[in-house]
Amino acid sequence: MDGATGSELQRRGVYLSYGVSSAGVLGSWSATAMRDAPDVVRAVHEDYLAIGCDIIITNSFWTNTVKLGLVGLEDRAEVYTRLAGDIAVEARDRLSPGAWVAGGMAPPHGGMPGVPVDRDDLPREFAMQARHLAAAGVDLILVEYVGWIEDCVNAVDAVSSTGLPVMLGLRHVTMNGTMQHGESFSDLVAELGNRDVCAILLMCSLPEEIDASLPGLLKAFDGPVGAYPNIGYEFSDEDVAAGGHFHSLDTTSCTPERLAAHARGWLDAGARIVGGCCATTPDHIQAIRDLVPR
């Protein structure tokens, strides 16, 4: 799988801090790149495809009406979602026809500190995004950055009408081997029941947290399992106060070689999909790609 999109756009000079009022509360994040820098979005996809990624994720993480509404762009949610799908599919078709495009989306409430959960938003926004991503020609839907079992179940139900395969990306797993809020992977699988989930991935967690949690997921879920970690993307009050980017990038504490060493362990344990989340770069993904037989 590919690596980060939002932080990679930031690393390439795209401003992503619209709607930020204080550290700990994200605005519309990379959704505004569909307005400001679609060519840079395309270049990010192209660079990951050039490495040999088998799956790339659309830049539609928060192209929903709730998040775009923070910056007065709620009426552009459908347009930006479709554009994110179109750009990724076009890049894939041109450069690597055998690769898959995952239509990514995260809960509109975001789960950030101080932001209330409104589960009425999730099914409405996910259904909208899934519909427009499917129309763009994505191969599967990636419901990512979900932390509660209830949200996972509601999200799978919301996107199922597309008929596309669905992957789940579980955020912030713990050193205790649980989901973010202490729920178990076995309970998640039980609640999903016979819903058609083609893979479950651990994401936006430190590599060490994935080390601790992957065994439990492998034991609980019979289907493909994987991981795409956060390697050090942190809130920065100083950046916000200076009117600059909302996060501080840290790509030095986890080098490509160090991340690849973790990925080697995940693959040996049985993971079948590996990639990267916040702060990972094409160099990190290249180091992981070198581990996977072509």
Whether 121 maps to a domain, the answer reads yes
- Cα dihedral sign, 38-41-47-52: negative
Whole-number Å distance between alpha carbons of 208 and 211? 5
294 domain-assigned: no
Instruction: Indicate whether 133 belongs to any domain.
Output: yes
Give a yes or no: residue 195 inside a domain. Answer: yes
pLDDT at 100: 98
Sign of the C-alpha dihedral computed for residues 144, 147, 149 and 153 taken in this order: negative
Tokens 């999909």 label which residue?
A: 273
The answer to the question of residue 255 being in a domain is yes
> Which residues 6+ apart lie within 8 Å of 174 measured at CB?
180, 182, 209, 212, 213
Q: What pLDDT is attached to residue 94?
A: 98
Q: b/e for 38-67, b at 16 or more Cβ within 10 A?
A: bebbbebbbbbbebebbbbbbbbbbbbbbb
Asked whether residue 1 is domain-assigned, the answer is: no
> pLDDT averaged over consecutive 10-residue blocks of the chain (294 residues)?
95 85 70 97 98 98 93 96 98 98 90 56 96 98 96 96 98 97 98 97 96 98 97 59 48 84 97 96 96 84
pLDDT score, position 22: 56
> Rounded to two decimals, what is the model's pTM?
0.93
Looking only at the bridges linking them, the beta strands covering 247-249 and 233-235 are: antiparallel
In which domain, by residue range, is 40 found? 6-289
Structure tokens at 31: 């959704």
Does residue 127 lie in a domain region?
yes
* Cβ within 8 Å of residue 275, ≥6 positions away: 1, 2, 3, 53, 55, 226, 227, 228, 285, 288
- Over its C-alpha atoms, the chain yields an Rg (Å, rounded) of 17
Q: What is the CATH number of the domain that holds 96?
A: 3.20.20.330
The count of structural domains within the chain is: 1
Domain assignment present for residue 157? The answer is yes
SS3 of residue 131 by DSSP: helix
